Structure 1
């Protein structure tokens, strides 16, 4: 998807611009991958200087960072929300202050004058949920890990799993479901409880790779769970290596490299006055054992391995 809302006149290409990138949490493997990719991509735009701020998976802290960026009069503020609805009023303040806004991973819809670069979270989960329809055994017990409750990606991915998998597989039983906030350590704690409470669990269904990796860490050396399936979203290097080792079943590539390329492209257009508002999405290819070597090589070429 690519939507240009309004074109305006160009500004001088020689101008210098300051950009604040407010990351969700640098302790989140995908968020760290994206932040690093944005800094690397920004090197191609000598007129743009990007400064990264860590939201620490805390909406109050992230909102404070947004307010500080407004006060410091950055030319553009990019927000990777922890909880989109909690960040919405502060994102609106950015536009009200006359500062360019991009929301990403996940976008905050409905902010007039604000742009976004994202992926379709429903489809990200749907493509792996459709694989699971055939792979998850009959009458299976599964556990589900979700992201923050107000996060657009968490909500839409979980909705996709419901429509594309659970409604079609009424034989499957959810024996544990928790909000792990995209966090590996939280997922590990929940998985430790679930393996104590259940003699069998056939699949881990996670709304991102980081939480899936945490759950896998708990059971990877337990022969009782040797054949457990595991699904995620993001295509991080950790998930790719887990698929290669046979510990994870499938994930969807949400390429931080591609997101970073789009984010800097959109940033440049906005800052030079070429457009007023843009909304654009990247794709969502599935990663399995059949093509995981390509993804590992992609990470290797980018210095991520």
Structure 2
């Protein structure tokens, strides 16, 4: 009988302990979805020198301000993997409620993004998407962004044209997929077109300008610049702006930045696939809010923004958009 009483007491204690454990877990979950003092979110931007990354960071700040219950701190990765990885570690240590990562190099940032997941902090990767179990993503389809340019280039780039190609950072998902689209959707279909040179300019305008200056000296005639983003395309255009020989040179990019739209309007750039920082920021903000307030699991977040083509036919509406948000002054 005595043994039975002791056994009953032990069982009761175990049930009590299990109940306390579950209650504590639920209480922690509830406190996270009902945080009275607001949620603190970190956004780690790839590089503020990149015009698109800078635009996205500005739009992120604006979108988060409208929420009322989330604050955002923006960090600059400076296009440096070690710098960005160090920032990620610091954000984990500082206990942010959520972290949004714009990777410079998805492969280099992956182990550190995994650390965010292991720390039980909701993580969204954006522009580009980084495939990592336990995270969400808000992005654009880089293949589609380039493909819309390719469809136009098939018609516009002259027969037997000589072109140069500007790539983003090695290992960057967006650069890789855009280049893949150009191969499959343009170069494989236009065997007459010759690639004179191809190099990495790291999304950077100055690096692209230097490469273009070297290529002009080496090759003379260049009929088109195939760039994986607008910033590099703008650098290539800048390099030949005073050279009448390149008056009819075509240039293709991705992002739909304010600068690119003005270059299209001026007839210096052919087209760009829009990657709307406004839409990306809005979707990231809404997604993180849904996760932090318990409406969604972070792994449910897998969204893409559309990629319309901007040309001389429709550029005025995008220029007006930039005037409205202050990026282009009247």
Q: Measure, in 1, the Cα distance between the counterparts of 2:243 and 2:33.
A: 61
| 2:302 is aligned with 1:279 | yes
Pick one of 268, 279, 298 that aligns with 2:321. Answer: 298
Secondary structure (helix, strand or coil) at the match of 1:233 reads: strand
Secondary structure (helix, strand or coil) at the match of 2:33 reads: coil
Deviations 1:92-143 (A, max 9, x none): 100100101010000101x222010000000000010111001000111000
Secondary structure (helix, strand or coil) at the match of 1:81 reads: coil
Q: Measure, in 2, the Cα distance between the counterparts of 1:199 and 1:19.
A: 50
Pairwise CA distance, 1:199 = 2.1
| 2:182 is aligned with 1:161 | yes
| 2:230 is aligned with 1:205 | no
Residue of structure 2 in register with 1:18 after alignment: 40
| 2:144 is aligned with 1:123 | yes
Pick one of 148, 161, 164 that aligns with 1:143. Answer: 164
Q: Measure, in 1, the Cα distance between the counterparts of 2:187 and 2:133.
A: 36
Q: Measure, in 2, the Cα distance between the counterparts of 1:94 and 1:279.
A: 18
Residue of structure 2 in register with 1:106 after alignment: 128
Secondary structure (helix, strand or coil) at the match of 2:159 reads: coil
- Larger relative contact order (CA 8 Å, sep ≥ 6): 1
Pairwise CA distance, 1:14 = 4.2
Residue of structure 2 in register with 1:174 after alignment: 195
| 2:137 is aligned with 1:91 | no
Secondary structure (helix, strand or coil) at the match of 2:208 reads: helix
Q: Measure, in 2, the Cα distance between the counterparts of 1:43 and 1:122.
A: 32
Q: Measure, in 2, the Cα distance between the counterparts of 1:189 and 1:133.
A: 27
- Structure (1 or 2) with the greater helix fraction: 2
Q: Measure, in 1, the Cα distance between the counterparts of 2:284 and 2:211.
A: 35
| 2:260 is aligned with 1:221 | no
| 2:224 is aligned with 1:239 | no
Pick one of 58, 71, 74 that aligns with 1:52. Answer: 74
Structure with max Cα Rg: 2
TM-score, normalized by length of structure 2?
0.88
Pick one of 213, 227, 231 that aligns with 1:192. Answer: 213
In terms of mean alpha carbon deviation, does 118-127 or 11-20 score higher?
11-20
| 2:79 is aligned with 1:65 | no
Q: Measure, in 1, the Cα distance between the counterparts of 2:138 and 2:220.
A: 43
Pairwise CA distance, 1:13 = 6.5
Pairwise CA distance, 1:260 = 0.5
Secondary structure (helix, strand or coil) at the match of 1:52 reads: strand
Could you tell me which runs of 5 or more consecutive residues in structure 2 were left unpaired when the two chains were aligned: 1-28
Q: Measure, in 2, the Cα distance between the counterparts of 1:88 and 1:270.
A: 21
Q: Measure, in 2, the Cα distance between the counterparts of 1:169 and 1:39.
A: 43
Residue of structure 2 in register with 1:254 after alignment: 275
Could you tell me which runs of 5 or more consecutive residues in structure 1 were left unpaired when the two chains were aligned: 1-7
**What is the number of equivalent residue pairs in this alignment?**
297
Secondary structure (helix, strand or coil) at the match of 1:275 reads: coil
Pairwise CA distance, 1:11 = 2.2
Pairwise CA distance, 1:304 = 1.2
TM-score, normalized by length of structure 1?
0.96
Residue of structure 1 in register with 2:99 after alignment: 77
In terms of mean alpha carbon deviation, does 51-60 or 273-282 score higher?
273-282
In terms of mean alpha carbon deviation, does 15-24 or 162-171 score higher?
15-24
